[in-house]
């Protein structure tokens, strides 16, 4: 992976698949990659900051306006430290925000401020995923250089077995490592 320790900003959004962030952190840490977690307000309903902080060994950032540890704007300093921004799970909400230039939380601000590659791992209901607007947003983001991994066909929380399941953790990690090279 080159010289020095790489840093992945892991954005966790409001999906039942947020639990997969734990696996992702563990596998990235095994690769000696520093993981800084950004947790959206909605994700906090599914997984706690304490869990992610314990696994990543870094303070989880949820609020852009909290007391900074450095006297740089927090979203800018994080954006500059990133070698990759990975959003897993990526909901229709975050995909829509990014596709339409909405910067209203720490995660979207970091993404728009970084020069690092951005990798999105969508997870949502099949009908949401196949919705024309979501598909247009994904196409728009791909056209501007955002990378996607998944979703895949699998068991969805709503009871369906269809497209919308977050990609396998190993596939997400392999794509992240490829983008870090």
**DSSP secondary structure letters along 120-136:** EEE---HHHHHSHHHHH
Task: Say whether 158 is catalytic.
Answer: yes
Among 49, 14, 22, smallest CA distance to 172 is for 22
Helices (H), ranges, 66-157 = 74-81, 92-99, 106-113, 126-130, 132-143
- Structural element, H or E, at residue 85: strand 84-90
Q: Which one from 57, 103, 109, 158 is the annotated catalytic residue?
A: 158
Torsion of CA 39, 45, 46, 48, to 10 degrees: 60
Task: Give the span between the Cα atoms of 167 and 177, in whole angstroms.
Answer: 15
Instruction: Give DSSP secondary structure letters for 21-64.
Output: HHHHHHHHHHTT-EEEEEE-TTGGGTS-HHHHHHHHTS--B--T
Find the length of the chain: 181
Please list the active-site residues: 158
């Amino acid at each position: 992976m080159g010289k020095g320790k790489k840093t992945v900003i892991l954005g966790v959004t409001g999906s039942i698949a947020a639990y997969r962030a734990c696996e992702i952190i563990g596998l990235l840490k095994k690769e000696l990659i520093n993981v800084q977690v950004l947790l959206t307000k909605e994700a906090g309903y599914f997984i706690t900051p304490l869990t992610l902080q314990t696994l990543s060994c870094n303070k989880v950032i949820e609020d852009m306006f909290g007391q900074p540890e450095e006297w740089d704007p927090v979203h800018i300093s994080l954006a500059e430290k990133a070698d990759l921004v990975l959003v897993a799970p990526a909901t229709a909400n975050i995909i829509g925000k990014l596709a339409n230039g909405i910067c209203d939380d720490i995660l979207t601000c970091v993404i728009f401020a970084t020069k690092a590659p951005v990798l999105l791992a969508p997870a949502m209901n099949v009908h949401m995923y196949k919705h024309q607007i979501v598909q247009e947003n994904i196409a728009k983001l791909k056209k501007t250089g955002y990378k996607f991994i998944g979703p895949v066909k699998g068991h969805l929380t709503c009871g369906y077995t269809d497209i919308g399941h977050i990609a396998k953790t190993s596939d997400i990690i392999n794509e992240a490592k490829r983008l870090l090279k």
